[in-house]
Structure 1
Amino acid sequence: MNQSNENDPIVLAITGASGAIYGVRLLQILARSGVEIHLTISPSGAAVIQQELGLTIDLNEVDLACLLSYVPTWSTDSQATQPLTTLESMRSEIHYHRYNDFFTPIASGSFRTQAMVVCPCSGSTLSGIAHASASNLIQRAAEVHLKEHRRLVLVPRETPLSVMQLGNMQRVAAAGAVMLPASPGWYHGVESLDSLVDFVVSRILDQIGVDNSLIDRWGQT
């Protein structure tokens, strides 16, 4: 694996699998951490965000404040809402790229990044990455991370899985990617839906080297 600098940006892609809340929550936590983010969202990802979260996404000009300030109706997180000044500060570190734009920095291996996460990761996105047949920026950026031996984390949520999907997962894992299914644990003192979402987000952050204290870890007092 290539050495990356902790100051290098992180790429986040949101695709059309159920579980949009994982991607949006991950975006919020990364933004709060101060890391530079390169964000891209597929049309299907935007459709799922609208269906599951009730947020309408304009893929030509994404309203970052809408995503960063989103709080689910079921959330009990009293710290979730951000002041306007904080939102402006977080937005300044986020660069949005259109899904079909291959002329962005993240489409090139010469652009240094720390890691990439596809969350959630649809079956079609997984297939495109597994077979190196990029038809959009998300798949191309993922291929870049594999060929440059950088960290790539794919977060599928679909269940059950077909033999073909399992084969695609094995293929990308063998190429160096981390397969991290959105399967929250229940051993960390679950008290709300927030804690189940944060379990998955915390595990993603661990894989890309971003410190976090979203959950009580096993063995901690």
Structure 2
Amino acid sequence: MAYKGTITLAITGASGSAYALRLLQCLLAAEYKVYVLISSAARVVLDTETGFKLPGSPDAATAILVEKFNAKEGQLKVFGKEQWFSPVASGSAAPKQMIVCPCSTGTLAAISQGMSDNLIERAADVVIKERGQLILVPRETPFSTIHLANMHSLSQMGVTIMPAAPGFYHNPESIDDLIDFMVGRMLDHLGIEQAIMPRWGYQ
């Protein structure tokens, strides 16, 4: 099947794993192929915050996510942190769009310094060097001067910094409404049509 495009979704150990699950659901529903990168800390946070358990094996994690979101054959692929021969590790094969959601401040720091110690950091480094689109969704408060300096440095490189800070002007009635606010904004920046969040002035 021909998909509309391919996007790399990296999930790190910051709080806010529900954003990642909803974003993945929306990307698949929009008929995009998704490469998923999940840190060890992210699996712990996923279980803690949502009760969703993902095994460490990339193939087993792929199977579980495919079943959970009813993905089509070949539409979703999970890669391990040291699968250096995966498409995302090379500028000749990596998708031009990548989002790290949620993005820990440790991952933020590593990306800002070009420290490719795992596949998430390498994939982000590839997108930056290939002049692709990289979106980082940090979830931390307050931000230290170090965090802000790293975000400023990345922003100057063209990286979009989108803190997980949902608005309230759409009168949210549930946590899901707050999640959809942020995921809707992520989809907007990825250039993917969405109807999960009402736009300003159109409520």
Give the match for residue 158 of structure 1: 140
The runs of at least 4 consecutive aligned structure 1 residues that moved more than 6 Å come to none
Shift of 1:88: 4.6
Distance 2:60 2:5 in 1: 23
CA offsets per residue over residues 176-195 of structure 1, 9 Å max, x none? 10000000010113121111
Q: Which residue of structure 2 aligns with residue 78 of structure 1?
A: none
**Residue 137 of structure 1 aligns with which residue?**
119
- Partner of 2:23 in structure 1? 26
Listed as ranges, the matches of 1:1-221 within 5 Å are 7-60=4-57, 61-64=59-62, 66-67=64-65, 87-89=70-72, 92-221=74-203
Distance 1:53 1:65, change over 3 A: farther
Contact 1:13 1:119 in 2 (8 A): yes
Counterpart position of 1:75: none
Helix, strand or coil at the partner of 2:138:
coil
- Which structure carries more relative contact order (alpha carbon 8 Å, separation 6+)? 1
Q: In terms of mean alpha carbon deviation, does 109-118 or 164-173 score higher?
A: 109-118
TM-score between the two structures when normalised by the length of structure 1? 0.85
What amino acid is aligned across from residue 17 of structure 1 in structure 2?
A
- Partner Cα separation in structure 1 for residue 53 and residue 21 of structure 2: 13
Q: Give CA deviations for 1:181-213 in whole Å, capped at 9, x if unaligned.
A: 000010113121111000000111111111101
Identity among equivalent positions (%) equals 40
Work out the CA distance in 2 between the residues paired with 1:110 and 1:128.
Answer: 22
- Partner AA of 2:189 in structure 1: Q
**CA-atom RMSD in angstroms:** 1.8
Instruction: Tell whether the 8 Å contact from 2:96 to 2:127 is kept in structure 1 after alignment.
Output: no
Q: Measured at CA, do residues 45 and 105 of structure 1 come closer, stay the same or move farther in structure 2, by a change above 3 Å?
A: same
Q: Which has the higher strand share?
A: 2
Note if contact 2:66-2:76 (Cα within 8 Å) is conserved in structure 1.
Answer: no
Q: Which runs of 5+ in 1 are unaligned?
A: 1-5, 71-81
TM-score normalised to the size of structure 2?
0.92
CA separation of 1:21/1:220 partners in 2, compared to 1, >3 Å: closer, same or farther?
same
Unpaired segments ≥5 residues, structure 2:
none
How many residues are paired up? Answer: 200
Partner of 1:76: none
For 1:51-76, what per-residue CA distance to the aligned partner results, in whole angstroms no more than 9, with x for missing partners?
A: 11112211213444644676xxxxxx
1:143-167: CA deviation from partner (whole Å, max 9, x where unpaired): 1111111110000011001100110
Contact 1:24 1:67 in 2 (8 A): no
